[in-house]
Amino acid sequence: MTQVLWISTLLLLLALLLGLWRIWAGPGRADRMLAAQLFGTTGVGLLLLLAELMQQPALRDVALVLALLAIMATVAFVARTQPADHHSEQDHDAD
């Protein structure tokens, strides 16, 4: 079972390297953001595997924090890239 976990860890590291290449070569901001999200989700999986392999429960806490940071990065990216709407629904209801 330990061998399977180590092979999974190596595959996740390979996915991180591919994501790094995508960030470097990505044609647009959205591609780069998706690669950064890959870093977040793959990093969580990697940390969970390492927590099990190394018997370090604190790595699970680090994985949880990384997952929360990935969510915040996505929210910030979407908020920054969406066009600003100057009129809210309340303004339209008042008319």
Question: The pTM is what?
Answer: 0.71
The predicted-structure confidence for 16-49, as pLDDT tens digits, reads as follows 888 888 778 777 877 777 877 888 889 899 999 9
Phi, psi for 69 (deg, rounded to 5): -65, -35
The predicted-structure confidence for 66-90, as pLDDT tens digits, reads as follows 889 888 888 888 888 877 665 555 5
Parse the chain into domains and list their residue ranges: 29-81
Buried b (16+ CB within 10 A) or exposed e, 45-68: bbbbbbbbeeeeeebeebbeebee
